[in-house]
Amino acid sequence: MICYTASLMFLYSHFVSSTDIEDPTEQLERISNSLFVLEPGAYPYFVSIQEPDPEDPTGYRQHCGGSLLTRRIVLTAAHCVQNASMVFKYRVMPNTRNLGFIDVHDVTYGIASYVIHPGYGHSEVKIQHDIAVLLLDHPDPRSGATIALPVTPPPLCVPLTMIGLGMTEVGIWPVTLRQTGVFILPDIACGAANNVQEYVPGFNLCVANAIVSSVCIGDSGGPLIYTLNNINYVVGVIASAYPPCGRYSISNLVNVFSHLQFIASSMLALNRDELKSDQIQYVKRSMDSKSDSNMTNGMTDLNIIVPFKH
């Protein structure tokens, strides 16, 4: 009860009203007011999904984040891969140096195929099912560079971590991966902090902290991380926040636990051999809970997209 009350007090002290937002219908896939990740190997499962940019010296720029569930399977946001004509041009760079730019020794991957949640784009709330699963064209050779799926719903009022390479509050792209500590707020607080039809309890999460950290352009698809007994779990996928970066304290995410059935089916459909034994146990336990109740029936409803190269 103390934790619940504290969350409500935080919300009302940082309340976002529709009159404060320049465009109430606009949300950015946007981590501002955060810290640099300096510890080597801190987040080996994070990946940077980059899009071509002729004006960038490297030829690419940050587009979205993602998380390695297996050596070839990446979890990200659906809107990161909604432009089918561009997906085959993206490159995926695993996090080996906490840096967003490529070095001559870095290895990058292409996207061989992917599955977007069948409910994405068919709900009044765009971010309700803003989640996708990608298959890389080659496996990441590193061992232990994956993150686990959750086996229980994410806890309230427990310190969690968001990471990303998105734009900062001063409008620049960071060179180094950034991180911030946040807390999941109760659904009643998340609903009050969002505009109408911008948040669905159960399927979405919202997070905040006292220094107004929020996600920004380029952070979409990145993980919300819960660490328990030295095991990292991806409990949320970054989806949206309100502009401008660093002004509003609420960030919205897709609840991974509520989409475990979709993730499991997608992983099986994309590459059955990629499903590790420990992930199988997570999947079995989650599907028994029937948490993804709005998921359409089985793998036959999944649209596996193979990027077409002109």
Helix (H, G, I), strand (E, B) or coil at 282: helix
What pLDDT score was predicted for residue 174? 75
Has domain 2-37+149-256 been given CATH number 2.40.10.10? yes
- Predicted TM-score (pTM) of this structure: 0.81
Expressed in percent and rounded to 5, the helix, strand and coil fractions of the chain are: 20, 30, 55
Domains 2-37+149-256 and 46-146+258-305 share a fold: yes
What pLDDT score was predicted for residue 105? 76
What pLDDT score was predicted for residue 272? 63
What lies within 8 Å, CB to CB, of 266 at 6+ separation is 115, 133, 302
Q: Are the CB atoms for 307 and 270 separated by under 8 Å?
A: no
Question: Which CATH architecture fits 46-146+258-305?
Answer: Beta Barrel (2.40)
53-60 contacts, C-beta under 8 A, 24 or more apart: 58/101, 58/102, 60/91, 60/102
Helix axes 277-288 and 260-270, enclosed angle (nearest 10): 140
Q: For residue 304, with 0-12 CB atoms within 10 Å meaning exposed, 13-18 middle and 19 or more buried, which class applies?
A: middle
What pLDDT score was predicted for residue 246? 67
The CA-CA-CA angle for residues 30, 81, 132, to 5°, reads 90
What pLDDT score was predicted for residue 116? 97
**Within a 10 A sphere around the Cβ of 210, how many other Cβ atoms?**
12
Ranges in the chain, pLDDT < 50: 1-2, 4-34, 273-284, 286-287, 290-291, 293-300, 309-310
What pLDDT score was predicted for residue 130? 97
What pLDDT score was predicted for residue 251? 92
Q: What is the DSSP letter of 149?
A: P
Helix (H, G, I), strand (E, B) or coil at 267: helix
How far apart CA 42 and CA 168 sit, in angstroms, is 20
Q: Are the CB atoms for 151 and 286 separated by under 8 Å?
A: yes
Amino acid, res. 214: S
What pLDDT score was predicted for residue 25? 35
Going by DSSP bridges, is the β-strand pair 160-164/178-184 parallel, antiparallel, or unpaired? Answer: antiparallel
Domain boundaries defined on the chain: 2-37+149-256, 46-146+258-305
Express each pLDDT in 2-58 by its tens digit: 354 444 444 444 444 333 333 333 333 334 444 556 677 889 999 999 999 998 888
Q: What is the DSSP letter of 20?
A: T
